[in-house]
């Protein structure tokens, strides 16, 4: 999936869209996506300006966006203005190394389970084949009331 197709599936836009490309998706199983981290990201001037580090919460958000893409592909649908795909939980989040400008974040997410509209995923973000962050994520699709 290129950026144009990603924009069809996710409601996120600059500066919150954190997935640039999907290189593999197996509906119902897994996704591998890319976030190219550049010095031009809006958070770098204010987050450790003397040593630029991508905020861990945004690394987690990037994994959650990849999870949303996987879910929409699995369900055969796209984001719309009638519902929101909420991020509802994080377990076991660990940060193994900093993510800095010039890094390519490889987001690997697999479906762990789906119960009562709660999707659980195992997620990792890697740089140069080494784990930068990992977590178990939970998301759900809810109608906007």
Full domain range(s) for residue 13: 3-143
Give the model confidence (pLDDT) of 2-28 as tens digits.
Answer: 999 999 999 999 999 999 999 999 999
99: Cβ–Cβ under 8 A, 6 or more apart, which residues?
37, 53, 54, 59, 105, 125, 127, 132, 133
Tokens 């630029």 belong to 52
Say how far apart CA 58 and CA 131 lie, in whole Å.
15
Q: Tell me which residues are annotated as active site.
A: 47
Say how far apart CA 31 and CA 18 lie, in whole Å.
15
The CATH number that applies at residue 96 is 3.10.129.10
Give the model confidence (pLDDT) of 30-53 as tens digits.
Answer: 999 999 999 999 999 998 889 999
Enter the pTM of the model: 0.96
Count: domains in the chain: 1
Give the model confidence (pLDDT) of 50-89 as tens digits.
Answer: 999 999 999 999 999 999 999 999 999 998 889 999 999 9
Ordered DSSP codes for 88-122: EEEEEEEE-S---TT-EEEEEEEEEEEETTEEEEE
Tokens 């996704």 belong to 31
């Amino acid at each position: 999936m290129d950026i144009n197709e990603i924009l069809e599936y996710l409601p996120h836009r600059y500066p919150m869209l954190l997935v640039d490309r999907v290189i593999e998706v197996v509906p119902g199983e897994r996704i591998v996506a890319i976030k190219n981290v550049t010095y031009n990201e809006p958070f770098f001037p204010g987050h450790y300006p003397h040593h630029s580090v991508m905020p861990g919460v945004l690394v987690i958000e990037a994994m959650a966006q990849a999870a949303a893409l996987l879910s929409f592909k699995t369900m055969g649908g796209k984001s719309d203005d009638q519902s929101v795909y909420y991020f509802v939980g994080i377990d076991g989040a660990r940060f193994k190394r900093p993510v800095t400008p010039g890094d390519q974040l490889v987001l690997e997410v697999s479906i762990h389970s789906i119960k009562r509209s709660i999707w659980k995923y195992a997620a990792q973000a890697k740089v140069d084949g080494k784990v930068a962050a990992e977590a178990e994520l939970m998301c759900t699709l809810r109608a906007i009331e």
